[in-house]
A = this chain, B = another copy of it.
Amino acid sequence: MPKDTFLNLDEAKQRRIFEAAVDEFSQKRFSEASINQVVKNSGISRGSFYQYFKNKEDLYLYVLKQIGKEKLDLMNYAGEIKQDADFFDGFIYMIRAALEWSRTKPKYYRIGMLMEFDDSHFISELRKALPEGFSMLKGMIEKDIQLGRVRSDIDSGLVVDIIYTLNLHLLIHCFKTDEESEFLKKIDEIIKILKEGIVNR
């Protein structure tokens, strides 16, 4: 979506702008993020920016697309291993992969998280169009139901929703406090509860 003028730039400059944008969008929600900041931190002029991108939305979409490329590589790699695992192991594997990614590329991860809590029109619409990261989990639960590993009256969609929500919530906490081992411990415990329930028997 950037204009040709941007694509014609030498790669170093493209990266400088991209990274300035990542910096900004990982600190502020889309609506609060400022082009001025991106312009300042990438050392280009305001006028140039609007020669490269149509507007702020254009820049955001570009950043997302770039991040998506890197994420896709990682997810494809993760996808190879968990073929015959059950849902629980598959989930834990995905969590660890995601955590690894969030550790190597924390800013990318933060952008995703901020997006999650952005209720602006633009972001709401955008979110709908984006691929759901945990969607594969739904298939895994359904497989487990067919194999008799999971109760047949369980709503797979709801379970994915639960997992997705709790994971996001814990991740945010993890980011704030930087207690990664605590996070993994809690995920394990949540999985256990999800498996067995909390009732004494």
Question: A-side interface residues toward B, CB under 8 Å?
Answer: 31-32, 117, 119, 148-152, 154-155, 158-159, 161-162, 165-166, 169, 186, 189-190, 193-200
B189 near A198: Cβ-Cβ < 8 Å: no
Q: Given the interface contacts A31-B32, A166-B165, A169-B165, does A190 sit within 8 Å of B158 by beta carbon? A: yes
Q: Can you tell how many copies of this chain the complex includes?
A: 2
* Chain B neighbourhood of A161, CB < 8 A: 169
CA separation between A169 and B186, bound complex, in Å? Answer: 19
CB-defined contacts of A186 to chain B, threshold 8 Å: 158
Residues on B with C-beta less than 8 A from A32 are 31-32
Which of B117, B148, B166 meets A166, CB within 8 Å?
B166
A140 CB, nearest partner CB in chain B, Å: 12
Residues from chain B with a CB closer than 8 A to the CB of A154 are 193, 198
Known: A155-B189, A162-B190. A148 touches B198 (CB 8 A): no
| Contact status A189-B148, CB under 8 Å | no
* Chain B residues within 8 Å of A119, by CB: 117
Q: Point out the residues of chain B lying under 8 angstroms from A189, CB to CB.
A: 155, 158
Candidates B117, B162, B193; contact of A197 at CB < 8 Å: B193
Whether B166 contacts A162 by the Cβ 8 Å rule is yes
A193 in complex: contacting residue of B31, B149, B162, B200, CB < 8 Å: B162
**CB of A12, distance to nearest CB on chain B (Å):** 33
B190 adjacent to A198 (CB under 8 Å):
no
Give the complex CA separation of A199 and B31 in angstroms: 43
Q: Can you list 11 A-B pairs, Cβ within 8 angstroms, ordered by A?
A: A31-B32, A150-B198, A155-B189, A158-B189, A159-B198, A162-B190, A162-B193, A165-B165, A165-B169, A166-B166, A196-B197
Residue of B nearest to A159 (CB): B198
Contact A151 B31 (CB under 8 A): no
Q: Beyond A32-B31, A165-B165, A166-B166, is A199–B195 a contact (Cβ under 8 Å)?
A: yes
**How far does the Cβ of A31 sit from chain B's closest Cβ, in whole Å?**
7
